[in-house]
Amino acid sequence: MKRSTTKPDPLSWYARKAARAAEPLPGVEPSQERVERLRGLLEELEEAGIKGDFEHMTLYTRRLPPGCRSCVAGKGTNVYVTGLCTRDCFFCFNQKPRKDELVVHGIPVREPEEAAEIVRRYGLRSVGLSGGEPLMFPERVLRLLSALKTMRPAPLVDLYTNGDRADEALLRRLQDAGLDGIRFDAAARDYDLAPIALARRIFEDVSVEIPVIPEDRERLERLVLDLDALRVPFLNIHELFLCAENSARVVGEGQTPLEDSSRHLLWRPTAESGEAALELLLFALRRASHLSVYYCSTGTQEMIAARGLRRRRRAAAACGGLAQAPGTEPA
């Protein structure tokens, strides 16, 4: 566990930092009760063997998913396959009204084959195919895979889906095309594990990636146990996000928005979701035998965005300009 050695009580320092980050009113000092509660959680996590970095809240119980390793190093990217979706989740932070467009590393393109040149240009090592629901356009996804997997060296490619279109025939076509891993947003389907169980029979690298909705605590703990029983290797969690596109619906669900203080992100977590994520990590450490849970916090995402932007600027310098990615702003 990476911790600062310059402070006499680093856990208290990290707890106070986390408490300030969870304070909905800017400039208000967090209550001592909140600080002590968070410090207790961090102490329990450390004693239970949590891995990662307290400073950025990049924490995981066993190991990082393969695609996340390059991402944390600032060498990952996203291919926005489409903005269209089969669902309308209250926590979705994609653009509204929805639009069918293909965007690679923040750069709009016309053809899937253009993705390979952009990935090569910026020296990226992992690619996430997302949306919207990318499997609404399976042939587009297969063309992207063909282009990316003919690169030398080829990047690692994951696909994000809610599972609505993930039937066995399509999953096998994706595997044959070279897809390395598949990630399911189980929260979009009310924690239905049927498509995840199906994918587990086909892919070795199967993940679930969800926002931590504080009111779903008992269901999330059951999800950890069920995924562990299925031998699903990874559960990625992050705070419940609030942004311009979903703010009214998220607040309507009773969530409290935090101050927008990020230099790189256009979203921010809700007040209680970070603490709920730490509690779920602790539950997984104590109860899961095989499942690895990774907390990709907004602190982690801020760090990733900063590293990625530095790499992007270096790579773009020779071209005389910087194409800005949606969801980021220059440092």
Distance, in Å, from the CA atom of 222 to the CA atom of 224, rounded to the nearest integer, reads 5
Report the pLDDT value the prediction gives residue 326, as an integer from 0 to 100. Answer: 41
Confidence class of residue 325 from pLDDT cuts 50, 70 and 90? very low
Q: What is the mean pLDDT of residues 257-280?
A: 77
Q: Which of 64, 56, 28, 57 is nearest to 41 (CA)?
A: 57
* Residue of 278, 303, 133 lying closest to 220 (CA atoms): 278
Average pLDDT over residues 108-118: 97
Per-residue pLDDT for 259 more than 80? Answer: no
The DSSP annotation for 208-262 comes to EEEEE-GGGHHHHHHHHHHHHHTT--EEEEEEPEE-TTTHHHHHHTT--BPP---
Band of residue 215 on the pLDDT scale cut at 50, 70, 90: very high
What is the length of the chain? Answer: 331
Please state which of the ranges 43-57, 141-155, 185-199, 249-263 shows the lowest mean pLDDT: 249-263
pLDDT at 30: 60
Q: Quick one: which of 205, 164, 214 has its CA closest to 185?
A: 164
| Percent of the chain scoring above 90 in pLDDT | 61
Where exactly are the structural domains of the chain? 34-316
117 and 167 Cβ atoms separated by less than 8 Å: no
Q: pLDDT at position 306, please?
A: 78
Say yes or no to pLDDT of 303 above 80.
yes
Q: Rounded mean pLDDT of 77-95? A: 94
The tokens for 155 are 């990047």
Q: How far apart are CA 179 and CA 297, in angstroms?
A: 26
pLDDT score at 329? 36
34-316: CATH, from 3.20.20.70, 3.30.70.3040, 3.40.50.1370, 3.40.50.2020:
3.20.20.70
Q: What is the mean pLDDT of the chain?
A: 86
Segment 139-154 shows an average pLDDT of 97
| Lowest-confidence region among 113-117, 218-222, 240-244, 267-271 | 267-271
How sure is the predictor about 330, in pLDDT bands with cuts at 50, 70 and 90?
Answer: very low
Backbone angles phi, psi at 287, to 5 degrees: -115, -20
Give the DSSP letter of residue 132: S
Mean pLDDT of the 313-325 span = 59
To 10 degrees, what angle do helices 32-48 and 10-21 make? 120
Average pLDDT over residues 193-213: 97
Asked if the model's pLDDT at residue 60 lies above 50, the reply is yes
Specify the pLDDT at position 93: 86
Over residues 36-51, the mean pLDDT reads 93
Residues 24-37 pLDDT 10s: 544 445 678 877 88
Range with the largest mean pLDDT of 16-30, 136-150, 245-259: 136-150
CA separation for the pair 219, 208 (Å, rounded): 14
The pTM score is: 0.85
Residue 171 pLDDT class (50, 70, 90 cuts):
very high
Q: Are strands 51-53 and 58-60 parallel, antiparallel or unpaired?
A: antiparallel
- Look at residue 323 in the predicted model and tell me its pLDDT: 47
CA 280 to chain centre: 16
Backbone Cα Rg of the chain: 19
Confidence of residue 324 (pLDDT cuts 50, 70, 90): very low
Give the number of other CB atoms < 10 A from CB of residue 286.
10
- Nearest-CA neighbor of 255 among 269, 236, 276? 269
